[in-house]
Structure 1
Amino acid sequence: MHRRKFLKNSTLGSVAILGTAPLISCAETETKTAGNIRPDGPVAICTWDFGNATDKAWSVLRAGGTALDAAEQGVMVEEADPENQTVGLGGRPDRDGFVTLDACIMDSQSNCGAVMGLEGYVHAVSVARRVMEKTPHVILVGDGASQFASEQGFSRTDLLTAKSRKEWVEWKKTSEYAPVINIENHDTIGMLTLDANGDLAGACTTSGMAYKLRGRVGDSPVIGAGLYVDPEVGAATATGMGEEVVRTVGSFLIVELMRQGKSPEEACREGVLRIMKKNAGRTDFQIGFIALNTLGETGGYCIQPGFSYRQYDSKGHRNTPVESYLKS
């Protein structure tokens, strides 16, 4: 969570920046784009500054791998990192001390799979892919998801690390659920990829809100909310308060806005501002989206009420304060 290297992508347009941390981490590309010309090379982006994840996805794409493989292997990096306490191994537990994982994956042919409330298996995204490829279903939950993971040969692991357990024990002294909503409390990694064949894919994985009610599921494993891929238009994924994303079918909304002609950044901005208008006066949540269209263009937008944000262009120059848009 201390990474601060922003890997520049020549296709990146303007994004909304939270403090000093970017909403989008991008894999480096070897080509530049102009206007609406698709880059000659592939693209990989993910939420927040998870540069190791996009590096991995880019290495898969550069070697000729598929968008689906790149998305899966990219987010697996964070699932396996015990220092990332919002995804996979080392994720913060629910209020009863159980680490439960949610994930989904989707390709350009609308194939998709998801797991919710998965316990004991690090790579929830890979279990989700097996659901997609090995069953007639889209979603498996709880004990059923864990049973399926075992049957598929995944190794069982205790996901609660000493660090996360210690923090949970301290939290229990007050049992006051007051999650810190800020740029260092990332609760998701969502990744979008475009391969050399022009195929899109996406993956989203999380351990959810720290100390949530047992059984709570946010937007991350919900197709259309936390992630959506449409081969004719593009793909989007969300981060932030999952309940608000679910209520607006957020990622599907972003893709549909791109279908109507908006750029990825414009679509993400519109989606965020719609949610904010429905929650006027609230300051206890954060919402963000990133998007990738079939041309290889990327964009993102994120707001947390109560903070002063400005929109930045691709050169880091500040533009109009975001607050003015909310008042219009």
Structure 2
Amino acid sequence: MARLILYRLLISVALVFAISLATFLLQAAAPGDIARTILGDHFSPEAYQRLHHELGLDDPILLQYWHWLTQAIQGDLGTSPISGLPVAGEIANRLPVTASLVICATIATAVGGVALGVLSAVRGGRVGRAVDVLSLIGYALPSFWLALTMVTLFSVTVELLPATGYVPLATSPAGWARSLVLPVTTLALPGIALFAKQTRDAMLEALSRDFVTALRANGIPERSIVFRHALRNASIPVVTLVGLTLVSLLSGTVFVEAVFAMPGLGGLAVQATSQHDIRMIQGVVVVFTLVVVTVNLVVDLAYGWLNPKVRAR
């Protein structure tokens, strides 16, 4: 197990470098210029050349990346030429918003999907078909339509939940929870259907195995068989799906943060891209990459806990 973790960490370090370099090169090749963005529509060639030189844009692309990398390794992500604020500080201010969305949506997706999947596998019949239909409806609904419909229903018509904005947890836990209900629901509903189907298939396979028959023959309660034995055996593919869902929700937050006017990393990345703020983009990409690396490592550790064969390798 230790060898597997070390191997994953080495790959993760290389992955961070590769993605940061690819992002830097792609952003440098994109149309536009941060110097022009700063100066606006009316500027003299002399002013443009002076600012272009001050920003280090005269240097070769790989040299610019090297300057950024040497600072990033020391924990300094630089300063945004647009806002004049430290990149790390801007990311730290917006990270709780995106983290709240992603973590809460992942938990809601996993809990709701697993519950529906187990219910569908155990009950079967009409209950199973009803769960399947409801899950597929949730998966088929377009996210933009779902978001706008919920805003219209729960914010405009009923006036029960806020339509936009974010309340920090430290300011008001109740306000924080209310501000997350609609965006988290928008993110979670499509994934619940996928979780329900995956859990149902894995549970049906686990319940059909010989050890389940032996447990029933020995008089073990059905609830214990389902939740203690079958669900644990069916949980490995579900754990994989949890990791994939959390990673995919990082991109989903861009849309949700825009619709619900939430100041998260998704909106920061879009704004930085439109302004050609490569230092801010690099900082956001590095944070997202570190999140993906951490999630993959946690999934590997969960494999080891659920499957003793992985620990023996």
User: TM-score, normalized by length of structure 2?
Assistant: 0.26
Bigger proportion of residues as strand:
1
Bigger proportion of residues as helix:
2
Q: Which has the bigger relative contact order, CA under 8 A and spacing at least 6?
A: 2
Which of these two proteins has the greater Rg computed from alpha carbons?
Answer: 2
User: TM-score, normalized by length of structure 1?
Assistant: 0.25
